[in-house]
A and B are shown apart, each in its own frame.
With several copies, the nearest count.
Chain A
């Protein structure tokens, strides 16, 4: 089971957690990650951020990542929500919530999904700073984080 949303709209973590749990009394653990827009990045103030994506591919890529997590760990349900469009500091960008019987599966799968999302899902961030707009570059640590799962 999975729920994947790509949207300009904000999400409500409490409501998503309630929906994820609903009707499955086997769930003992939910690991959850929320990414937020920070007000500085690489030493510059960030006034706003534009999140571009590749609409025809985004959903499909997220589905493939979640399906792969489901093959590697014993999961009961997964929710992935990713915002697109214009965001401001403090805004929520992404939610990954993973429900399982025991916590080890939930933690590993949640981190795996984030690591793969960061390197495989077609989103790009453009930041507005006092020096003008700039495209965010992928961090080398993101590639390393994803690579460790294939060891």
Chain B
């Protein structure tokens, strides 16, 4: 399945990517699994997305926890804790 993955703010700058399309094997249907795949890239990816790091994930524009299911065509965004207001 294909996912559109977006990065924002400090994470966008640090990872050097604003947006990409990621192809995952079918059955990798949770946020946690996408993150595992991204961490296997090593370097800043492994560092910034490590389990203890403070980042947020949204699936189809809704804040999402690690267990939230992802499906073909979904938009997943990964970003630092928000600081608006």
Contact = CB atoms under 8 A, between A and B. Distances in A.
Interface string A109-151: 0000010011111111110000000011110000000000000
Nearest to B58: A57
Contact of A119 (B6, B8, B61, B82): B82
Interface in B68-82: 75, 77, 79-82
A1 interface: no
A118 B84 CA distance: 6
A35 B80 CA distance: 21
Contacts of A137: 80-81, 83
Contact of B85 (A56, A57, A117): A117
Given A52-B8, A135-B10, A124 B85 contact: no
B9 interface: yes
Contact of B9 (A114, A118, A124): A124
Interface in B1-27: 6, 8-10
B84 A125 contact: yes
B63 interface: yes
Categorize the interface residue count of chain A. Answer: 20 to 34
B75 A124 contact: no
A2 B55 CA distance: 30
Contacts of A121: 82, 84-85
B63 A124 contact: no
A93 interface: yes
Contacts of A93: 84-85
Contact of A122 (B10, B75, B79): B79
A122 B56 CA distance: 10
B58 A124 contact: no
The 5 closest A-B pairs by CB, nearest first: A123-B84, A124-B9, A138-B81, A57-B61, A135-B10
Given A54-B58, A103-B85, 6 more contacts: A35-B85, A52-B9, A119-B82, A122-B8, A135-B9, A135-B10
Interface of B: 6, 8-10, 58, 61-63, 75, 77, 79-85
